[in-house]
Amino acid sequence: MLKSAVDSLKDKVVGSWYGMAVGDAMGLAAKSIKPETVRQLFGAMDGFKDVRPFIGKGIKRFTMQGLYGGLTQNALAVADGLLKNKKGGAREVSQLLLKLSAGGPEHYFGVYRRPEKGFYKSICSLMEDPPRAAEHDQADAAFLTMGIPAGIIHRDRPEAGVRLNVDIGLLLSRNLCEITGLALAGYLASRFLSLEPGNVGEPVAEAELVLRDTEEFCRKVETRLRETAPGLWGETGESERGLLEQTLKGLRERWDVGLDELLQWVCQNASHRHKTSVTSPAQGYVLTLLPLCLVLVLREGRGFDSSLTAGLNMGKAADKVGSLIGSWAGAIYGWQGIPESWRSGLVNGKEIRLRGEGLFSSRFPKGAKDIYEMELGLTSKEFEIGKKYFQKSSTRLTRPTPRPMLSWEDDVADESVIPEKSDTASWRKFHKDKSRMKKDRRKHLKLNDADD
């Protein structure tokens, strides 16, 4: 391969990896808010936003400007696990995930920043000895970014990427659609490396071919899942198999309709297949986010910045949208295609870029920081900057309101024996005894009525 071609590929690989972190960091400011609120607070998501002026006025939680969150941290754990041990796999990844869940400042789950409830449960299941099966059974796109490292590393060996990503998916989820989506996110990051940007003002070419390739890829993933986890496959109903493949086929068949009509179909399809009400394509589901990001990158986007801004302006699961669009658009437009102000505005950008170069060379970069120490420092810094915005946990101990003692109960309800709520065992025993006394009182009253 000519040097210019090698340099171009390296620029794209680094762009995909760096773009993921940029999209995640930018999206955290708009996470969980409506598009109308995004416009009201920020105008447009065209940069890293400072949320501090808006906390309590549309924004509920502090996030450090320019700092990525749990989605990128998970992908970092996968990348470090694979790069440090070329023969490693899910076991090495699980060890790093567990390591990141320890320590950390108050209000955080270890050093993770804003992890979802499903992720917390999955990590807790890994803590048991032996580890039990993950409880995560929803296709809520919680783990999609974790497929990107293996997809990029094994860009020339997609079958190896499938095997590795299926193992990683099974580590954290019991949902067939979620695991398939994780593997597909990584495959598309590698698939887009071969795409060239369209002419100025034109969308990316080869969109239909890419969509057909994704359908075939989903079939390969489910075949691998059936072979690797026959128990899970047997537990998955017929109606839940092939959901992502069928959705991508429907998207391809409607590719040329108007944008509003296409996104309306995305919502209707996800509502039907996920059996829940979906009103926005930016809601956090596999069957909404993957089609939405494909549309914005392949059809609507005219560059890295236009694709990413369009997705983040929709709010909702903006961090997930941002990380996917950032990775895929970065693979097409490369590192140089990311606006310079966004490259320089990303906190910890040097380490992110080092690992992007490591994914290109398949070697852990020399001089890169230890992931735990790195993330602990970043999370502690975020906490120190924003600690005045965190809700303070109440340390006040309250006593139960004493009730009048009944004449027939003698001295058993003396207030001095009422325990503190902080003494959980005694508090439960108190209420158990209280219930027993109520039953005795009702029995006593019935006996009195009978005597009358």
Mean pLDDT taken over the chain: 89
Mean pLDDT of 292-320: 97
Closest of 203, 196, 184 to residue 324, by C-alpha: 184
Confidence of residue 278 (pLDDT cuts 50, 70, 90): very high
The residue that leads in pLDDT, 216 or 432, is 216
Task: Locate the DSSP E strands across 168-235.
Answer: none
Q: pTM of the predicted model, to two decimals?
A: 0.85
Distance CA 141, CA 181 (A): 7
Question: What do you get for the CA distance between the two ends of the chain, in Å?
Answer: 104
Query: Maximum Cα–Cα distance for the chain, whole Å?
Result: 106
Distance CA 140, CA 316 (A): 13
Contact 148, 331 (CB under 8 A): no
Residue-by-residue DSSP string for 133-185: PP-----S-SSGGGGHHHHHHTTT-HHHHHHHHHHHHHHH---HHHHHHHHHH
Q: How many helices and strands in the chain, by DSSP H and E?
A: 19, 0
How many percent of the chain have pLDDT more than 90? 74
Amino acid type, 236: T
Structure tokens belonging to residue 194: 């071969």
pLDDT tens profile 2-29: 558 899 999 999 999 999 999 999 999 9
The residue that leads in pLDDT, 327 or 440, is 327
Contact 111, 376 (CB under 8 A): yes
pLDDT tens profile 126-138: 988 787 878 899 9
> Which phi and psi (to 5°) does residue 363 adopt?
-135, 140
How many percent of the chain have pLDDT more than 70? 87
Distance CA 150, CA 361 (A): 13
pLDDT tens profile 15-72: 999 999 999 999 999 999 999 999 999 999 999 999 999 999 999 999 999 999 999 9
pLDDT tens profile 349-361: 999 999 999 999 9
With tokens 């993921």, the residue in question is: 20
Confidence of residue 326 (pLDDT cuts 50, 70, 90): very high
Report the pLDDT value the prediction gives residue 364, as an integer from 0 to 100. 96
Distance CA 352, CA 66 (A): 13
Distance CA 135, CA 133 (A): 6
Contact 65, 50 (CB under 8 A): yes
Dihedral sign from CA coordinates of 135, 137, 140, 145: positive
